[in-house]
Structure 1
């Protein structure tokens, strides 16, 4: 196992092709301040340089929260005084949110409690979201006179549809894990005692397939979600299909499949 120690607010460990990131601010429900955002960017840069990583799992310390979102104390004060700082912070948030989305490996959010505001936005940019049944979700930005940021309005509409995304933001309401699963915000809600095993089973499933095929599938999905037309998405998908078709992985797995028949 490789453990990286150059982080203030998170831990990063890599073992058997799995990178695990854990937020370490349980006293404030793992809120995302500047230090956490910078640590996350550096961690994903490390992961991006390690192509042997098959999957990334992200969670929060303790049983209370994945992340309660942005550290609101950093938003106090008049706008005129903090405009340059806030613009820089919003850019930092956006760059941080994009990291799991653009990561070469699938990223799984293991949601162990509250997943709110910026924490939820970060989870939405992960590939898969598994939550405990008691988890709570919401984007209460309107409660503090702000709007969602970091491209989250686009991502929310993509995941749950325009009507439900608007309801969540306009009312600043909270929903439980069962409702989050029903509307497609998360993949699955499970009892707390099953959270670790469920995520481990998903990771094992990823590692039991063609690992390059999984990563190229992620590239195709991401391009398709941002393509302007079906034709653009189809052209990129075809390029990736041929790229994968030429791999030794594909030839080996096809041979193994035929031999098993």
Structure 2
């Protein structure tokens, strides 16, 4: 069962179909190191096997940060010292970033503070991002002589557009939550004392609809995000539509609607 595995750097709690994952490295602003990466991969593998999970919420311990990104101490030294381990490590980081996107259930990043670098990349791969209004966002990799990784260039352009993605990366700048909301990087930026309530309302709204319909909608939307051929995407969407149409859930909810 999800949540029964012991983790070193995160916690996973499942209650009535909602899985909550929390980073537990507040002393380093919930920075992502190898231990976090491996824990998160295991957690999502468990969630993927549990179809009773309707929604996943990810947050960071404390009030300071969702995640400040990669643990930069793990990048010190020459390229020769890191090769080939760093190449393999980057592949594993990409697998971790992609897990929320590929998860069968909607995944919400509950952003309670700084959301920077790899932390922001991870949040970008979630389905939704709900943030406190005093959070800060950025991808300051050029400040340390690196470039974005984890296919984040594609994901950032998809979310905020080419020009804004280039500005964020080239300048290594930080933006406020209201700007992140304006450009579509986050869905909602809310006062800190309403963050829990806002996320809970979205979770309940999702769970108040057809469970299978939501998950199949995620399949269709995610395929459209990755698609390069509109006709192929149309065919996939039609296939998923029919899968959902054939469910008992669809028949039950249509009958309920017509009775009302």
TM-score with structure 2 length normalisation? 0.99
Contact 1:4/1:11, CA 8 A, preserved across alignment: no
Q: Distance in 1 between matches of 2:85 and 2:250?
A: 49
Contact 2:2/2:46, CA 8 A, preserved across alignment: no
Tell me whether 1:84 sits opposite 2:81 in the alignment: no
Tell me whether 1:99 sits opposite 2:99 in the alignment: yes
Deviation string for 1:47-81 (max 9, x for gaps)?
Answer: 00100100000000000000000000000011111
| Structure 1 equivalent of residue 212 of structure 2 | 212
| Structure 1 equivalent of residue 36 of structure 2 | 36
| Structure 2 equivalent of residue 221 of structure 1 | 221
Per the alignment, in what secondary structure is the counterpart of residue 4 of structure 1?
coil
The runs of 4+ residues in structure 1 deviating greater than 4 Å are none
Per the alignment, in what secondary structure is the counterpart of residue 14 of structure 2?
strand
Runs of at least 5 residues in structure 1 that lack an aligned partner in the other structure: none
Q: Distance in 1 between matches of 2:44 and 2:200?
A: 20
Q: Distance in 1 between matches of 2:17 and 2:111?
A: 21
Task: Report the number of matched residues.
Answer: 260
Tell me whether 1:150 sits opposite 2:157 in the alignment: no
Tell me whether 1:4 sits opposite 2:4 in the alignment: yes
Q: Distance in 1 between matches of 2:92 and 2:226?
A: 21
Tell me whether 1:137 sits opposite 2:133 in the alignment: no
Deviation string for 1:188-234 (max 9, x for gaps)?
Answer: 00000000000000000010000100000000011111111211111
Contact 2:2/2:47, CA 8 A, preserved across alignment: no
Mapping 1:188-203, distance limit 5 Å: 188-203=188-203
Per the alignment, in what secondary structure is the counterpart of residue 164 of structure 1?
helix
Q: Distance in 2 between matches of 1:220 and 1:197?
A: 29
Deviation string for 1:159-202 (max 9, x for gaps)?
Answer: 00000000000000000100000000000000000000000000
Please tell me the root mean square deviation across aligned C-alpha atoms, in Å: 1.0
Mapping 1:236-247, distance limit 5 Å: 236-247=236-247
| Structure 2 equivalent of residue 231 of structure 1 | 231
| Structure 2 equivalent of residue 64 of structure 1 | 64
Tell me whether 1:117 sits opposite 2:117 in the alignment: yes
Deviation string for 1:74-109 (max 9, x for gaps)?
Answer: 000111111111101101110000100000000000
